[in-house]
Amino acid sequence: MTAETLKKMAQLKTLRDLDRHFARWVGVLSGDVSEPLTLAAALASQRLGEGDVCVDLGRFAGRRLFADPETQDGLPAPGLESWIEVLGASAAVGTPETPERPLILDGTRLYLARYWHFEKTLADGLHRLASASIPVDLERIEAALNRLFPRAPGEQDDQKTAAALAALRRLCIVSGGPGTGKTHTVAVILALIAELAGPPFPRMVLAAPTGKAAARLTEAIRKAREQLPAAAEVRSAIPTEAMTLHRLIQVRPGRANPGHGPDNPLHLDLLVIDEASMIDLPLMSRTVAALPEHARLILLGDKDQLASVEAGNVFADLCAKPGRGYSPALCAQLKRCAAYDGPADPAATALDDCLALLEKSYRFGPHSGIGALARTVRAGADPVPVFDTGAEDVTHVAPDPAGPPRTPEAAVDAFGAIFKAADPAQALARLENFAILCATRDGAAGVVGSNSRVEMGLKATGLPVEPGGMYRGRPILVTRNDYRLGVFNGDIGILWPDPIDGVLRAWFRQADGELKSISPGRLPAHETAFAMTVHKAQGSEFDRVLLLLPDRDVRVLSRELIYTAVTRARHHIEIRGDTGLIRKATARTADRASGLAKRLWQTTG
C-alpha cells in the first residue's frame, strides 16, 4: 500500500472514511501493500455503501475510480487481466474454494467476504426450497380453490394460479403492483393450506421488513380473513398478527448472528413475508437460513419497485426472468386444479415453477391516471403523454425557472390537519393523507429543504412549530435501528403529548396496531418527515402524493424510483419536475451489482 495512494484517497470526496480505513485494514492484515489491492478494497467498500453486493471488476478496469463529478479527479484502475492476476495472488483475497479471507474473488466479481457468504447461503437455501417436492392431492386442491375463488370456479385467474402454486410448491414468490390483490391472495393461500392440512393446523407466521409494513399486513389479513368462504376453524387457524423480521429471527444488538439460524431454526411450518422488495441481502439470507427443513416460504412484493435501502436487490433477482412459462409437469397440475391454460416451457427451471405474477389491478380502473402512469413507467415508455390525458388523479407541474420550488398551500393545509387531531392515534392516521416525496436529500427539491419550507409554512399559519425542534405534531422518521427500543430505520412516528400526563413523547404504531410511546430523548437518530425520500416511503401508501424532482439529472433518478413514487398514491399524484428529466429517468433502470440472479437461474432446474 503506497503512501501516495492513501494520500490521494484522503483527498477524494467520493470516498467515505470507512472505505479508506477498510482498504488500509485489509493491507495491514494481509501484509499486501500493493496499489491494485488498495484500490479494489476501497472500491468494494464504496460500492457496498451504494447498494451493490459486489464489484464487477470488468465495469471499472482501466477507468478512473472514485472520480468527483465536478473535478473528474480520481485514481486509475489497472486493466482487467492484470488486476485479477494481482488480486488472485494476494493473501487478502480468497476464492469460492478458499473463502476465509477478507475479500472473495468469484470470477470477475469481488466481494467483501461476509456478503459472498450471505449470497451463497441465500442461493443455496432458495435452491433447496425451489427443488423440494411435496405430496399433493390435486382433487382436494381443486375443490378447495373453487370454493375459495367462487367468482371464477372454472376460469383462469392469476390469484387462483398463485394460490395453487403455493399449495404445490414449498417456495412461492408472488409479485404484483398495487391493488393486484396480493394480501387477499395470501389470505386465501393460508386458508387453503390450513384446510388441506387439517387439524392440528400448521403453524403459520406473518412477517414484514418494517413495523409499518407489518401493521399494514396485520390489518389487511384480519379484514380478508373474515370474508373468506371457509370453515370457522380454518379461518381461526390463520394468524392475525404480523411481526418484523428483526423480531422474528431475533436480531440482537452487539451480536453478529441473530437468535434463530441453522442451529436454532424457527418454530414454524409456513412463513409469509410481505414487502419482500424492501429486504436487503443480509436480512433475507439470515431469514431463509433460519427456516426449519420442512417449512414453506411465501414472498410477496413488487418486482418493479426500488430495491432495498441497504445492499442487494433480492426480490428483483428472484423475479429476473418472469413469464417464461412453467414446466410441463407443473402446467398439467395447474390446469387440473386451477384451470390454468398458459404455455408450458420444457426449459423452465425449478425457480420458474415458484413464480406467480398478479397483473390485474383491482384498485385502478381503466380510466385511472395513476394506473396508466404506473403501467407506462413500468414498461419504460414515455410517461409525459399521460399528463395530457386530462386524468383527474394525475397532475404535472413544470418547474418555475424564476426560483426554487414553493410548498403548495394544499400541502400546508394537509399537514395542518395533523395538529388538529384529538390524540396520537388520529395524528398518525392523518400522516397517511398526504406526503411529499423527494428523489434526493439535498438541493432545493430535496428532503431537507422541503421539510424546512413546510415548517415555515405551518408556522406562518400560527401553528406552534419550531423548525428543527421538538414540538407537538412533528412527524419523525427513524434513520437508525434501535433493537432495544424496537424501532428501526424507516419507521415513522409523531411527537404528541401523552394523554395522561401531557408530557411530549414519540408515538409509533406497532405491528399489532397498538401504539407505543418513547421519550424523545431516548430516540435513535431521526429527522423531520413532512418530506421523505422515495426510498424511505417504500411500504407506505398515502391518499395524495407530491413528488419533487431535482432541477438536474442525478444518479438516483430511475424508472424504479418514479414507479415507486407513483404507486405510493391512492387517489392523486402530483409530479413537479422537468419533462425531459422525467423521460430520462424512466428510460433507465437502477441496476445493482450482484451474483445472486446468476446463482439462482444457473443452478435451479
Query: Amino acid letter at 408?
Result: P
Cβ neighbours of residue 509 under 8 Å, at least 6 residues apart? 211, 212, 215, 425, 428, 515
Closest residue by Cα to residue 535 from 440, 433, 398: 440
The DSSP line for 170-228 is SEEEEEE-TTS-HHHHHHHHHHHHHHHH-SSPP-EEEEESSHHHHHHHHHHHHHHHHT-
Q: What is the mean pLDDT of each run of 10 residues along the chain (605 residues)?
A: 65 83 87 87 93 94 81 81 92 90 95 96 96 90 90 72 95 92 92 92 94 86 89 91 91 84 95 95 96 96 90 91 81 91 89 91 83 93 91 89 71 92 94 94 90 92 89 93 83 93 92 87 94 91 94 90 95 94 93 91 59
User: What are 204's strand-pairing partners?
Assistant: 270
DSSP state letters, 489-502: TT-EEEEEE-TTT-
The overall longest dimension of the chain from CA atoms, in Å, is 74
d(CA 344, CA 332): 9
- The CA-atom distances, in angstroms, between 108 and each of 77, 81, 94, 104, 154 are 14, 10, 13, 10, 50
Sole residue written with cell 431521526: 526
Give the other-Cβ count within 10 Å of 263's Cβ.
8
**Domains (range + CATH), the chain:** 3-119 (1.10.10.1020), 136-362 (3.40.50.300), 369-587 (3.40.50.300)
| Cα gap 394→574, rounded to integer Å | 6
In the sheet that 103-106 helps form, which strands lie side by side, from edge to edge?
A: 55-56, 109-112, 103-106, 93-94
**Of 78, 79, 129, 121, the residue nearest 99 (C-alpha):** 121
Task: Compute the radius of gyration of the chain from its Cα atoms.
Answer: 25
- For residue 407, give Cα distances in angstroms to 234, 316, 494, 543: 51, 35, 21, 18
Decide if 490 contacts 545 (C-beta within 8 A): no
Q: Give me the pLDDT at residue 4, please.
A: 66
Residue 512: exposed, middle, or buried by beta-carbon count in 10 A (0-12, 13-18, 19+)?
middle
* Cα distance between residue 368 and residue 497, in whole Å: 40
Would you put residue 50 in left (φ > 0), alpha (ψ -120 to 50) or beta? alpha
How many CA atoms lie within 13 Å of 6's alpha carbon, on the beta-carbon side? 13
* CA pair distance 115, 282, nearest whole angstrom: 7
Cell of 261: 439460524
**Can you give the pLDDT at residue 493?**
94
Evaluate whether 235 touches 195 at the Cβ level (below 8 Å): no
pLDDT of the residue at 1: 46
Q: Residue 343: CB partners within 8 Å, gap ≥ 6?
A: 325, 331
State the Cα–Cα distance between residues 345 and 440, nearest whole angstrom.
Answer: 43
User: Which run of H or E residues covers position 478?
Assistant: strand 475-478
pTM beyond 0.75: the answer is yes
Q: Which of 301, 374, 302, 279 is nearest to 569 (CA)?
A: 374
8 A C-beta contact, residue 205 and residue 270? yes
How long, in residues, is the chain? 605
Burial of 144 (0-12, 13-18, 19+ CB in 10 A): buried
Pairing of strands 531-533, 542-548: unpaired
By 3-state DSSP, what share of the chain in percent is helix, strand and coil, each rounded to 5?
A: 40, 15, 45
Contact 173, 319 (CB under 8 A): yes
Confidence at residue 71, expressed as pLDDT on a 0 to 100 scale: 63
pLDDT value, residue 604: 46
